[in-house]
Amino acid sequence: MSQLDNKTKRAYINAHLIDPASGLDTKGALLTEGIHIVDFGPDLFKDGVPEGIEIIDCQGHHLAPGLVDIRVHLREPGDEHKETILTAGQAAAAGGITSIAALPDSTPVLDDVSGVEYVARRAREAKMVKIFPYGALTKRLEGKELTEFGLLSEFGAVAFTDSTKAVANAQTMRRALSYAKTFNALIVQHPEEPTLAGGVMNGGEISTRMGLSGISTYAEIIMVERDIRLVEMTGGRYHAAHLSTAGAVDIIRQAKARGLPVTCDTAPHYFCLNENSVLDYRTFAKVSPPLRSEDDREAIFQGLADGTIDAIASDHSPHDQDSKRLPFAQAEFGIVGLETLFPLALQLYHKKALSLLDCLSLVTNKPAEILGLPVGKIAKGAAADLVLFNPDSPYFIDPEKFRSKSKNSPFTGFPAQGKVLRTVVDGRTIYER
């Protein structure tokens, strides 16, 4: 960005300003200069915009902090045919996302400084959304030897996780929580007891009828319960990723009531879909953890509504056609989610489970707070990361229009409401409808 660009002033007028972090919800205007927000409010520019300021007319639409997605598989380095940092950034921008946290399961694994620095450098080169890398919790994601939490944190790792692999060994997890506490680092777990998780879909009547091996809900419940006991033992900060079961939500609810340093997230498919979506062996609905029963789906929805679940993440997991168009048991787990995170999250608002402010909080300031990121809010001096959107605009989801390299989504033809009109990162418009 040139010196001139750093001084550019832009006025967003006729906006409906909305910011969950502060409770802001009013008509008004917002002013950016370079990469920062310098002023905003209902009375800003009431006498007109001074000369020399670029004007962007929001036409009454909502202007909010850009979304923060804390669970994304980038696929670069190693699987660039499925996704790259650039294409993921373009997809995120189209979805109103301005910051993403990248999982460490690339090739090579992000278990050393060079890997973390590579992702940061490629993000700068792509000049799209902000990318914050996770560090691997154990070397090579093998669940045995811990990585250098302190050193990786110093070079930009925002938390530590073995991505889609659970840390199965209780002693290893205990050590990780204790070690992380030294640096006030966060441990993020894929909560699934491996010896109970050898299947390909939710265990139950439907899996039996389809002749597919099932994954019991207890695989998640047992792991979350074990980890909560280890948090009690160590006092370490713990985050359970992509919860899918009623039992796990209850355990987290009770842990929070006891004051433990525990947070969790879920993904849209766990409150929008259930196990019926894999009928007819639909591999595009094969995810890990699997889509669960209708009772579990309702429990996830309720966990979001009552505040037990802290955030919604896309769990963006792009795969090429050759990895998905296979017999169900052989197909890869995962779906793309960057471009559907926002409209699917808005279902909580449209179904009147949450106010628009509370719904937005799940994809802006709350995920940012979990990882300690300096984003996700409208404030003077804050980064000018913004999304302009119409929450009520209806359409049907069409994965063929996605900017992601991969199109593996189970939401083809799914009715949605909420269109992103403009996405701004550090004052630069990176997407405009």
Backbone angles phi, psi at 226, to 5 degrees: -60, -45
What token pair was written down for 192? 């699934």
400: nearest Cα among 390, 384, 413, 386? 413
- Angle at the Cα of 88 (from 84 to 93), degrees rounded to 5? 150
Contacts for 43 with CB less than 8 Å, ≥ 6 apart: 28
Q: Is 315 a catalytic residue?
A: yes
Nearest Cα to 236, choosing from 367, 115, 137, 368?
Answer: 137
Of 164, 166, 162, 136, give the one whose Cα is nearest residue 149.
136
Cα 280 to its chain centre, rounded Å, is 29
Contact 152, 139 (CB under 8 A): no
Q: Of 263, 289, 269, 284, which is closest to residue 367 (Cα–Cα)? A: 263
By residue count, the chain amounts to: 433
Output the 3-class SS for 177-222: HHHHHHCCCEEEECCCCHHHCCCCEECCHHHHHHCCCEECHHHHHH
Catalytic pick among 111, 296, 315, 426: 315
Q: Which residues contact 366 (CB under 8 A, 6 or more apart)?
A: 20, 310, 311, 376
Catalytic residue ranges: 315
